[in-house]
Amino acid sequence: MQVKNRNEISNEFKWDLTTIYKSDEDFYKDLEKSKKLFDKLNSYKGKLFDSLDNLKTYLKTDEEIDLMLNKLITYGIRKHDQDTANSKYQAMSQELEQLLSLYDEKTSFFTPEVLDTDTKLIDKYLEDDYLKKYRRVFDNILRYKDHTLDKDKEELLSKLGIALNNDENTFSMLSNADLVFPNIKDEDGKDVELTEANVSKYWTSKNREVRKNAVLTLFDTYGKYANTFASTFVGHLNTNISLAKIRNYNSVRESSLFKDKIDTSVYDNLIDTVKSRSDVINNYYGLIKEEVGVDELHRYDTYATFGSAIEKEYSLDEAKSLIINTLSVLGEDYISKINRAFDEKWIDYLPNKGKRTGAYSSGGYGTNAFILTNFTGNYHDVSTLIHELGHSMHTTYSCEAQDIIYSNYPIFVAEVASTTNELLLAKYMLKNSKSKEEKLSILQQLLQLYASTMLRQTMFAEFERDAYKIREDEKPLTHEVLEDMYLKINKPYFGDNVILDDSLKYEWSRIPHFYYNFYVYKYATSLAASTYIAEHILEEDNYKEKYIKFLSSGSSIDPLDELKIVDVDLTKKEVINEAMNVFNSYIEEYKRIKNS
């Protein structure tokens, strides 16, 4: 099907951004108004705590700005993403980036002044009826007392913000724009250009020679630029290590986990527990070896397509019906919010020329939780839609239940609600499908989800941890060291059944998440939590009430405590082990159905 231009798609399939601003002119009015409000905030520099009225006015103004920024960002970035080739909205996106940088600059004095102020005076001000709600905000700021610089230094660092992200930008440009891959032969023996965008098509091929050439060509091409990628990555590490030292953290990992109050033991517990489950790892790759039908299973075989894909094509109405049937276990209120997303046009469904690829949910206090997707009608698209609806419901419940200052839930739990929805859909399909082939296809996707998340993301987490440790110990980190370390770390995550070709050592250099500062482990902890939650929603009476309470928590409590609402304790091995057990149960179910 030929991809249409944006103006050729019916409005019924587009999100309705006029619920935020009726026109671009209204957007720009708020943009200019926000800058004046930034100046108003900045006028309190040096006298924030001179009086109760000063502090109260500052915080009320900041709330007004927060609401305005939510609207500006939600509108401007959605406009950009619906047609990235539109120069008008390219400019709008850039103006938003500059606006946020200006906000950081104008308010950089706030935290240092809080930390320089006598806590007795702060406590006195927080007795005010309006300011009582800020107790948690100030407690969280005061946690940073040992990690915050004086006002001038904080302002200087805020001005350096864009420059300090340059290593990530360099990686992105090199990987996505400048890197050129050789041609390979496709299934028909034709020469095709290999790109990062199409490589997954070829490494999942049922033709072994195609997937071998795709994977090895990809990795070997990165290997030709090993020095550049290593220099860029090590530069990123060095910058973060310097910033951590400046802010008096023991390590970058500690600084990255500090905001969410996550002890490094949670991170290590994930790695140690997953690596200890060689029984599941060997069982999974033993199944892959059998399904792919090879005597020796190489790394390039592990993503091969096997079995039959779900050939059913879903209309949008069929997808909506399936989603509602799946999520009905969460109660009438949850379904009413799902219907709002459908009926009030929160969702931009169809691909168009220039539209951002992939899918996401984005919105916040004062806006709908909009969803971008590129729906073409296959089962994967239905799963993606229900996943993003999970994010949107999390946002909606949090914004309805919490004050604006606590309405954003922590990144640590951001993937839990979405993945829970995705798992509930798979379970619904397994229970209700009459087709053996369809069940096997769903199980295959579940197995790949657990392998790519519990195994692969945990492996990435170990590599990132160890790379930082080497530099923090002031040892050299050359591309050879990175390559040898990456190969060594891979081995336990692929077990006894997979041969790791030497070219695999270059794979680390193509992973953008290594520039996200200890983010990848959250994918694995979130899947573990979602696995537990999905199982108990279906098995335990009244568990959904706990789940809705979790969704409504926003940032009003710490993320580990939020998860304890639904009986998930990530400081212990049990939740991780249960996820690995469920992974293993899907392996066994696949074998049983295949052989039935």
Rounded to whole angstroms, the Cα distance separating 554 from 396 reads: 10
Q: Do domains 6-165 and 180-224 have the same CATH topology?
A: no
Query: Which tens digits make up the pLDDT trace of 495-515?
Result: 999 999 999 999 999 999 999
The pLDDT-based confidence of 1 (bands split at 50, 70, 90) is: low
Q: Give yes or no for a contact between 423 and 530, defined as CB atoms under 8 angstroms apart.
A: yes
Average pLDDT over residues 402-416: 95
Domain ranges of the chain: 6-165, 180-224, 316-436+532-557
CATH number of the domain located at residue range(s) 6-165 in this protein:
1.20.140.70
Is 245 buried (19+), middle (13-18) or exposed (0-12) by CB count in 10 A? middle
Q: Say yes or no: domain 180-224 is CATH 3.10.180.10.
A: no
pLDDT higher than threshold 90 for residue 575? yes
Q: What is the pTM of this model?
A: 0.91
pLDDT at position 149: 87
Instruction: Collect all residues with Cβ–Cβ distance below 8 Å to 344 and sequence separation of at least 6.
Output: 16, 19, 368
Q: Which of 154, 155, 168, 388 is catalytic?
A: 388
483 is catalytic: no
The pLDDT-based confidence of 357 (bands split at 50, 70, 90) is: confident
Average pLDDT over residues 203-232: 95
Instruction: Collect all residues with Cβ–Cβ distance below 8 Å to 348 and sequence separation of at least 6.
Output: 13, 14, 15, 78, 82, 355, 370, 371, 372, 373
Query: Which tens digits make up the pLDDT trace of 175-193?
Result: 877 889 999 999 999 999 9
Rounded to whole angstroms, the Cα distance separating 113 from 91 reads: 35
With residue 32 as reference, give the H or E element that holds it: helix 24-42
Neighbours of 2 (CB within 10 A): 5
Rounded to whole angstroms, the Cα distance separating 300 from 208 reads: 8
Rounded to whole angstroms, the Cα distance separating 5 from 132 reads: 51
